[in-house]
Structure 1
């Protein structure tokens, strides 16, 4: 301003953006423009053992590659991840924009370069002037903004949206610039939408429109999320001859096993009437001679007496009896619930009874035969198809306990008789309980 009125003279105050340390009369010396950080570093970080690629990566978008360092710095300062005095940020941004404008000049037409530089300057100005707590520094930035510095105008925000509208109306050939505008919005440019109630939503819509205008987005398949997901075609491994034979044999074995189980169940069901008919051939009452005859002289047995003495507590409890005939001495159980139903597993506590019997017969000489007997009820299950198999398995279980209690385990044998030798009627539960028994048989020695 010029004039004779000293009251209207313009007063210049030092700008906080210029930093301190210079005299009042000294002309400000512009900082030496630093080289912009490369978008693709050529040197690996110290201590990184990842080898460098054989060929440097190709820059798909040189414009975006040159702007990326400044946009990243602006976004970091905006979010608070990076802290830097506004004057220092202004100096760095000014140098970076100048380097950006110079770097892209060889790749794009002048008008495209002008738009790109304008968008980058507007973005940095918008972010810097709206940082929280900057105070007077924000007004100083506005007076010396990058748009003012590079283009001598102060309408950066409105001109930015004008460029966006023009590119959306005619996106052909402007792919790199559209991607840069999308990056500016992602870094934090808001402009007039900053104060609008629905500004965030409208900014998102503009970003979506910019992205949709890119050839990459337009070329995406409607059906495949990742267009290049297919890998290298490889032949499917063929199943070998021996593998097919093994699979066939395994399937055949399973089928045969199922057939065996089915036929066994059918045989058990169909054979039950025959077993019942055979069992009915035996008279239910003891046989008596129709003519009188001289009875055998009564003879006592020292073996039976010794066994009765040893097993007196068990006899008193009604657990066993000691019987004798002309050729044998038998220790016979008198409780029906020795084993679990349809099983050769002893009920809890029954093993001690046979351990006592083993201790008694261990003192007697000769072979020991364990006989298993059953009632007329046939078992239902695959393990034991009939009473003969069940009684034999139960005799084997008891024989194992008796062997463990004898000095000579080889004396013991086991035999199952099924329901062929009942000692009571199978018409009631009490008779069946007596028929379900185990007998330990000794040959008489006296």
Structure 2
């Protein structure tokens, strides 16, 4: 343990974005003329390696949102509207983070990050095709289901893809500082967020349309597989000119894990930033996962409206991403994160109390806007405070809160099943709003981060 603490202290004294590389020695100079209306909104896209990474993440996130929408509605049909199972099947996709998440971070620091990401996407594509074939052999209607597809197949599919996404998550964050210099990090992280928010806008809308037009779900899974194949193709040419040489392979994986934990414990600001992510991961995400319940039971609508709401949330997210990419965090990154927590939780409370479609649309817009500010600001701070040798591990610790999302979904889904969705959302939003306001009052270290 003394050895691990000494190594962590040594890492604290090292710069967090050196240009020492393991294999890619060419450091690309950006074309600073690539601006939009004189603004530096898209300056990180001047780096070709960042363009490869951005395109890959866009396709992976598009596939992810297609799965979230389709699996939720598919379970709702298979179980005749069971709220608990519908919320849980989507929620368990993050459960593997609790078991293999930190070890995935260790792998990201020991193995070539590009190759690890590419191989994982190949397996995801094969898995999606197999499940699409299973769905296509079943007849699923509002009145009943015939064929081999059973609810447990959905749980198995989501669990397998959840494990694979657990490997990808720390890689996506750790690779950003490897393809752009430190000065471009805020812009790069903001544009990285657009891959999630833009696909939230496009993916669910397209998925909802396909379900409505073709009256089936299998096409969505074939499209998901195609997105993974596209991601595999665009990630292959990527190089990492800003990656620092890692010596993680010189120690055991257990020692690597201890080294990462020791660093986070000695660098408490990162620990606090990890804790703050409980709000978006345990509140905002479960709301998305139980969306079919809210749309069907409270709004009295169908898949098309569900896809529309997720798309509106994407509009809010894209807007926030562009604002941050262009202007940065004018209030300070730390303060912006806390204000966004308050605004986002308040929007859920309003939505639960005024269950009208126009109000719900407005609140989803606000929720997407605020959540994206958190998801840009928080990882930007974490990545810039972390040495590259530990970025995979710290990214996995940072996303560890995601592993508790299934528990939150289970509790909210159970509340919705035994009371109603309105009561469940009201309770969750009130508690999280109180926590957010308390953070604003007492979290002085976070508020000082710029």
TM over 0.5: no
Structure with the larger helix share: 2
Q: Quick check: which one's strand share is greater?
A: 1
Q: Which has the larger radius of gyration?
A: 1
Please, what TM-score do these two structures have when normalized by structure 2?
A: 0.20
Superposition TM-score, scaled by structure 1 size: 0.20
If asked which structure has higher relative contact order (CA below 8 Å, sep 6+), I would say 2
